[in-house]
Amino acid sequence: MRITQLNLFDLIGASRRLIIARPKPAAPQKQTTTTSRRDGPMATRYAHMTRDLLETHNVRVRKWRSSMSGVAWRVEYRDGTTSRLIEAPRPRGPMSAAVFCHEIGHHAIGLGAYSPRCLEEYHAWMWSLDTMRKYDLHITQRVRERMHDSLHYAIEKARRRGLKRLPEELTPYVRAREVQITRSYPP
């Protein structure tokens, strides 16, 4: 009878071979007959709109944001090529679709095509709403309020930075907001 001495590394190697040799049992597959919201007809419409707009306007999403905010920018390379980029929420509902379309709208109308900047914001929002109508997506009251708040913020920012003359297209957003504030907070 021969006795073999095993060291720690021999034992570890043997246990690894035993672990690797055993196949893991397959997990049972669940059969679901219900469809979730993400698989429904609206999800399909949002996905179609997303693919279509990104392809049509040659825009690449750098990051899908979890918040309802976005940014659009353009990168010009030394060889003359240009990349159009956005960060926006993935369209899954009216608000995220509006923000996504707004960021695509900046590229569709042309970044820097309008001056002052608040006027570009206005045209990007108008493009966004028109696009949502084109794809037959619902524009909720909350989306309209978000657009109004966004434009009001852009106007106030432009005023702080020395805006001399407000474009005519933006006057309804200023007056309506000032009237609303006056009604909410009596003197």
pLDDT of residue 174: 84
Query: What six digits make up the tokens of 180?
Result: 């609303």
The Cα 87–Cα 3 span in angstroms is 68
CB 137 within 8 A of CB 45: yes
pLDDT of residue 55: 97
Binned average pLDDT, 10 residues per bin, the chain of 187 residues:
65 60 65 60 95 97 96 96 97 97 97 94 98 96 96 94 93 65 47
Q: Which of 113, 112, 86, 117 is nearest to 101 (CA)?
A: 86
Peptide bond preceding 172 in cis form (omega within 30 of 0) = no
Tell me whether residue 179 is in a domain: yes
**Count of structural domains within the chain:** 1
The Cα 144–Cα 30 span in angstroms is 42
Tell me whether residue 152 is in a domain: yes
pLDDT of residue 9: 66
Tell me whether residue 75 is in a domain: no
Q: Which amino acid, residue 2?
A: R
Tell me whether residue 172 is in a domain: yes
CB 105 within 8 A of CB 128: yes
Q: What is the pTM of this model?
A: 0.74
For residue 142, the enclosing domain spans: 92-184
Tell me whether residue 67 is in a domain: no
pLDDT of residue 139: 96
Tell me whether residue 77 is in a domain: no
Tell me whether residue 79 is in a domain: no
Tell me whether residue 2 is in a domain: no
